[in-house]
Structure 1
C-alpha cells in the first residue's frame, strides 16, 4: 500500500469532519430533540421551535462553510 500524501490526509480528515457534522445535525433535527422545543413559548415573538430550527440550520451552514474553506 502506498503512503498517503499530506494533501490526501487533509482531504480524508476534512471528509471525516463533514460526515461527523452531517450526523450531528441529523440528530439535532430529529424528532425527539425537536419535541423538546415544541411548546407555546416565544422568544421575541418567534416560536421557540422555529428559532431552534433556524439556529441549528444556520450553525450547520456556517460550520460546513468553515470546514470546506479551512486550508488545514
Structure 2
C-alpha cells in the first residue's frame, strides 16, 4: 500500500470517528442533560449546547480535511 493510500485510509478513519463522536454528542442521553430551564447569557442551555457541538463538528471536520490536503 502506497503512502498516499495509507493517508487516505487514515483520513477516512478519522472522519468516521468524528461522525460517530458527534452522533453520540447529539443523541438523547446527553441532550437530556442540557434540557432544563437554565439560561446562559439569555440563551437556553440546550440551544447553546447544540450550537457549540455543531460548530465543533464543522471546525474539526474542516481541520481534518484541510490538514490532509496540505500533506
Q: Normalization by structure 2: what TM-score? A: 0.95
Correspondence list, 1:1-72, <5 A: 4-71=1-68, 72=71
**Cα drift, residue 52 of structure 1:** 0.1
What is the RMSD of the two structures over their aligned residues, measured on CA atoms? 0.7
**Cα drift, residue 48 of structure 1:** 0.1
Moved over 2 A (4+): none
**Cα drift, residue 42 of structure 1:** 0.3
Gapped runs of 5+ residues in structure 2? Answer: none
**Cα drift, residue 34 of structure 1:** 0.1
CA distance in 2, matches of 1:23, 1:57: 13
**Cα drift, residue 16 of structure 1:** 0.0
Question: Aligned residue pairs: how many?
Answer: 69
Gapped runs of 5+ residues in structure 1? Answer: none
- Higher helix proportion (structure 1 or 2): 2
CA distance in 2, matches of 1:33, 1:55: 13
